[in-house]
């Protein structure tokens, strides 16, 4: 373990709303991202990731306004991804208040873009998002567009390459586990984390506190990005009924149900549980 | 309301520095104008990026003498690269003259290793603790670090760190693996410099801005 592992809240965003799906599909509106972000900040999150989950599909980025609002009141690092394709795109989200950017489609299409971006903004600013799907023959393929588009690229080769090209971190999402609550793909995380010299953030699959312990100990992850596990806990605490815009399916939100295989947890509970297995966290 | 000038030399996330200063109750102005710095009640020199580029820009802006004067005369906070710029010189890719307010240099991490001998990642990116130094200032009373506990977690992003000539100015140290480096300096009672980013270090980081503001 290099140093104190980070517990990161991951907020997938569509238009003005926080959404969540399963395997990044079937997105349901959970609420306003700013509200969740503030809650996680107060609960002790070490960092936030905002992913604009539809930006890449439509070639747009609607996050700027949300980033500005967030960085006015939330004083922890903020990483932003989704649809960033040019140095100018990166500049615009950094100027809005982001500290780092995460990219997938743009760098799969043009790997040298990683070097150009890290030379320009510093390697610690450039995060590469890898969306991995386990295939029936046991190999892993990198996908883009939230697990919709195949690339033919082997995940292990790609991880090494992005580190060599100057990426500062990798967010590794196991799409086949994402949103299921069945746990991380620990084997995948371990193989990647041990093969690259840069931090690896494990994402996708956490359904309970113990899953986080496992991916930190067995999986050698430097950080975890958690969504459902935290969001469902936040929803249970949220009493107000806001006026949500027409965008997306809000029926789920109104029902205030949680997903059966997820045991929601607070960030402090997760950190306490890590301390019990001798992993020290920021308090 | 105290007026703080945040020096903009084209690098780093000034947005978060500004909003931290505002959250701490200051009137914050991001500026490239040396006159604004001269007239402000306090100055923040932030920054992330390359040392030489930063000094070149400050020279072009006519900011160098103004900053030296401000650092000696009014409440002043240097953050990350802004801390390093206050030193005599940096050994980052060559030898570069700094503002020379605090005697000492800026050096690269000397192969930090963890307890099991594994070389740690550089840059250091993430949370680490600020500790009271064995040599140096043994109390944080009367400094921006008062009231936030004995070993507060702060957010770091850096490959180089300062090495002041005198340990007397060291306000806090941080251990990265087995390497211990100065993570906060205090000079002339009103100049404070931090390797970490208080504006990205949660409520304790904002408390540092608030305490700094109270001293102006």
In angstroms, the CA A124 to CA A110 distance is 19
Q: What percent of chain A stands above pLDDT 70? A: 88
CB A2 to CB B121 under 8 A?
yes
> How far does the CA of residue B110 sit from the closest CA of chain A (Å)?
16
**Which domains does chain A show, CATH number per domain?**
6-276 (3.20.20.70)
In angstroms, the CA B184 to CA B40 distance is 23
CB < 8 Å to A123, chain B: 123
CB < 8 Å to A75, chain B: 16, 19-20, 23, 199-203, 205-206
> How far does the CA of residue B206 sit from the closest CA of chain A (Å)?
8
Mean pLDDT, to the nearest integer, of B69-77? 97
Q: Where are the beta strands (DSSP E) in chain A?
A: 6-14, 17-22, 25-31, 47-52, 78-81, 100-103, 126-134, 140-144, 149-154, 169-174, 200-203, 223-226
Residue with tokens 């409520």: B203
The reported pLDDT for the residue numbered A57 is 57
The reported pLDDT for the residue numbered A236 is 78
DSSP structural state of residue A249: B
CB A72 to CB B19 under 8 A?
yes
CB A75 to CB B127 under 8 A?
no
- C-beta separation of B129 from B174 below 8 A: yes
> How far does the CA of residue A277 sit from the closest CA of chain B (Å)?
18
Q: What is the pLDDT of residues A225-280, one digit of tens each?
A: 999 899 988 887 765 555 555 455 555 555 555 566 889 999 999 999 999 998 99
Res A192 pLDDT > 60: yes
SS3 percent helix, strand, coil of chain B, rounded to 5, is 30, 35, 40
A196 touches chain B (CB under 8 A): no
Query: Does residue B80 have an active-site annotation?
Result: yes
Mean pLDDT, to the nearest integer, of A194-205? 94
Res B28 pLDDT > 80: yes
CB < 8 Å to A280, chain B: none
Q: Which domain holds residue B24?
A: 3-215
* Listed range (A148-157, A175-184, B64-73) with the worst mean pLDDT: A175-184
The reported pLDDT for the residue numbered A84 is 92
In angstroms, the CA B76 to CA A81 distance is 35
Residue B17 or A242, more confident: B17
What is the DSSP track for A131-167?
EEEE-TTS-EEEEETTTTEEEEEEHHHHHHHHHHTT-
- Which pLDDT band holds residue B135 (cuts at 50, 70, 90)? confident
Res A56 pLDDT > 70: no
- Which pLDDT band holds residue B49 (cuts at 50, 70, 90)? confident
Q: Which residue of B has its CA nearest to A125?
A: B157
Give the count of Cβ contacts less than 8 A between chain A and B: 75
Mean pLDDT, to the nearest integer, of B41-63? 93
CB < 8 Å to A168, chain B: 123, 125
A260 touches chain B (CB under 8 A): no
Query: Does residue B197 have an active-site annotation?
Result: yes
Res A196 pLDDT > 90: yes
The reported pLDDT for the residue numbered A252 is 57
CB A97 to CB B19 under 8 A?
yes
The reported pLDDT for the residue numbered A2 is 47
| Token digits of residue A124 | 């610690």
- C-beta separation of A241 from A220 below 8 A: no
Res B136 pLDDT > 80: no
A237 CB-contact burial (10 Å; exposed 0-12 / middle 13-18 / buried 19+): exposed
* CATH code for position B79: 3.40.50.880
The reported pLDDT for the residue numbered B163 is 97
The reported pLDDT for the residue numbered B26 is 97
This prediction has a pTM of: 0.91
- C-beta separation of A74 from A41 below 8 A: yes
Alpha helices for chain B (secondary structure H): 14-23, 34-39, 51-60, 64-73, 81-85, 202-215
Res B178 pLDDT > 80: yes
Res A184 pLDDT > 70: yes
Q: Which residues contact A99 (CB under 8 A, 6 or more apart)?
A: A77, A78, A79, A125, B13, B16, B200
The reported pLDDT for the residue numbered A114 is 97
- Mean confidence (pLDDT) of chain B: 93
Through-space distance between the first and last CA atoms of chain A, rounded to whole angstroms: 17
SS3 percent helix, strand, coil of chain A, rounded to 5, is 35, 25, 40
The yes/no answer to whether this complex scores an ipTM above 0.95 is no
Q: Which residue of A has its CA nearest to B201?
A: A76
The reported pLDDT for the residue numbered A1 is 39
Q: What are phi and psi of A216, to 5 degrees?
A: -75, -40
Query: Edge-to-edge, what's the strand order for the sheet holding B96-97?
Result: B96-97, B87-90, B102-108, B160-164
Q: What is the pLDDT of residues A3-26, one digit of tens each?
A: 789 999 999 998 888 998 777 677
Mean pLDDT, to the nearest integer, of B170-177? 95
Residues in chain A: 283
In total, how many domains does chain B have? 1
Q: What is the pLDDT of residues A88-131, one digit of tens each?
A: 999 888 888 899 999 999 999 999 999 999 888 888 899 999 99
Q: Which residues contact A165 (CB under 8 A, 6 or more apart)?
A: A111, A112, A114, A115, A118
Query: Does residue B19 have an active-site annotation?
Result: no
């Amino acid at each position: 373990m290099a140093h104190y592992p980070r517990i990161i809240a991951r907020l997938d965003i569509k238009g003005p709303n926080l959404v969540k799906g399963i395997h990044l599909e079937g997105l349901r509106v959970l609420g306003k991202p700013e509200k969740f972000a503030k809650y996680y900040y107060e609960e002790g999150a070490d960092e936030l990731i905002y992913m604009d989950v539809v930006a890449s599909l439509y070639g747009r980025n609607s996050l700027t306004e949300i980033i500005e609002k967030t960085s006015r009141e939330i004083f922890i690092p903020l990483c932003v991804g989704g649809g960033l394709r040019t140095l100018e795109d990166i500049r615009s989200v950094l100027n809005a208040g982001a500290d780092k950017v995460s990219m997938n489609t743009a760098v799969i299409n043009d790997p040298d873009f990683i070097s150009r971006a890290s030379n320009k903004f510093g390697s610690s600013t450039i995060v590469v998002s890898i969306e991995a799907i386990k295939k029936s023959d046991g190999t892993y393929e990198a996908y883009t567009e939230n697990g919709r588009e195949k690339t033919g690229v082997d995940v292990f080769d790609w991880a090494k390459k992005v580190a060599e090209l100057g990426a500062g971190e990798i967010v590794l999402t196991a799409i086949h586990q994402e949103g299921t609550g069945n746990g991380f793909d620990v084997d995948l995380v371990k193989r990647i984390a041990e093969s690259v010299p840069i931090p690896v953030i494990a994402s996708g699959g956490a359904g309970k506190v113990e899953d986080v312990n496992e991916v930190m100990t067995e999986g050698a992850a430097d950080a975890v990005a958690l969504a459902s596990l935290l969001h469902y806990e936040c929803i249970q605490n949220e009493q107000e009924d806001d006026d949500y815009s027409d965008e997306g399916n809000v029926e789920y939100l109104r029902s205030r149900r949680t997903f059966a295989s997820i045991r929601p947890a607070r960030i402090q509970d997760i950190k306490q549980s890590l301390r019990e297995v001798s992993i020290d966290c920021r308090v | 309301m105290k007026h703080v000038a945040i020096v903009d030399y084209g690098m780093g996330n000034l947005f978060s520095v500004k909003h931290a200063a505002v959250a701490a109750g200051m009137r914050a102005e991001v500026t490239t104008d040396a006159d604004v710095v001269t007239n402000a009640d306090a100055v923040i020199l932030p920054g992330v990026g390359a040392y030489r580029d930063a000094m070149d820009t400050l020279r072009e802006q006519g900011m160098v003498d103004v900053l030296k004067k401000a650092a000696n005369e009014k409440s002043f906070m240097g953050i990350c690269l802004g801390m390093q710029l206050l030193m005599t010189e940096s050994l980052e890719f060559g030898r570069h003259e700094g503002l020379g307010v605090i005697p000492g240099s800026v050096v690269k991490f000397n192969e930090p290793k963890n307890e099991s001998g594994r070389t740690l990642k550089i840059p250091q990116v993430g949370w680490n603790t600020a500790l009271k130094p064995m040599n140096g200032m043994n109390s944080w009373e009367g400094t921006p670090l008062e009231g936030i506990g004995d070993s507060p977690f702060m957010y770091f992003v850096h490959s180089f760190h300062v090495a002041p000539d005198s340990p007397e100015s060291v306000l806090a140290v941080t251990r990265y693996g087995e390497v211990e480096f100065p993570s906060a300096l205090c000079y002339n009672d009103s100049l404070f410099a931090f390797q970490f980013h208080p504006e990205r270090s949660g409520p304790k980081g904002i408390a540092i801005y608030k305490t700094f503001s109270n001293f102006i």
